[in-house]
């Protein structure tokens, strides 16, 4: 039968990561959701940066994007902790952290904005639903 494999590209890979991040948020798997959304955004980083910044400004009206940006322990700290169990290179290992649905939602919104900047013609039902408020993370009850 052979080894299962797929042929993919950046568009499908980042799209699938965003879709999976949305599903993980809905289940309350915040660590998985934030990591997948960050990876999707990172895959697309640098592509059409000006357009991305315009889209990001447009979505910053959402409470969770502004709230996450104002936190002193910002999203980058959370991602660094998820990847390395530390906040700084060679810093102390940190065993516990708190991740809120606000941070996860903001990270997913940023990933969708980056995706839209690169693939403006692609609009998936999952991303549209999330952008229109279904992805507030309120189902988990965590703020």
* Per-residue pLDDT at 132: 86
From CA 143, how far away is CA 140, in angstroms rounded? 9
Task: Compute the average pLDDT of residues 9-25.
Answer: 96
| pLDDT tens profile 79-131 | 778 888 887 778 888 888 888 888 888 889 889 988 988 898 898 999 999 98
Residue boundaries of the structural domains of the chain: 11-136
Task: Give yes or no for a contact between 102 and 32, defined as CB atoms under 8 angstroms apart.
Answer: no
Task: Compute the average pLDDT of residues 55-75.
Answer: 55
| pLDDT tens profile 19-56 | 999 999 999 999 999 999 999 988 887 776 666 666 66
Task: Give yes or no for a contact between 111 and 124, defined as CB atoms under 8 angstroms apart.
Answer: no
Helix (H, G, I), strand (E, B) or coil at 99: coil
Task: Compute the average pLDDT of residues 132-137.
Answer: 60
From CA 133, how far away is CA 75, in angstroms rounded? 21
Q: Using 50, 70 and 90 to split pLDDT, how confident is the model at 143?
A: very low
Q: Which residue has the tokens 């697309």?
A: 44
């Amino acid at each position: 039968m052979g080894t299962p494999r797929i042929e993919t590209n950046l568009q499908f890979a980042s799209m699938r990561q965003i879709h999976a991040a949305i599903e993980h948020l809905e289940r309350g798997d915040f660590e998985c959701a934030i990591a997948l959304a960050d990876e999707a955004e990172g895959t697309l980083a640098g592509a059409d940066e000006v357009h991305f910044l315009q889209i990001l400004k447009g979505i910053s009206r959402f409470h969770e994007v502004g709230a996450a940006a104002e936190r002193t322990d910002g999203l980058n700290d959370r991602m660094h902790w998820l990847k390395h169990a530390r906040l700084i290179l060679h810093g102390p290992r940190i065993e516990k952290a708190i991740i809120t649905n606000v941070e996860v939602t903001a990270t997913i919104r940023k990933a969708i904005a980056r995706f839209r900047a690169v693939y403006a013609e692609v609009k998936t039902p999952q991303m549209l639903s999330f952008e229109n408020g279904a992805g507030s993370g309120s189902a988990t009850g965590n703020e």
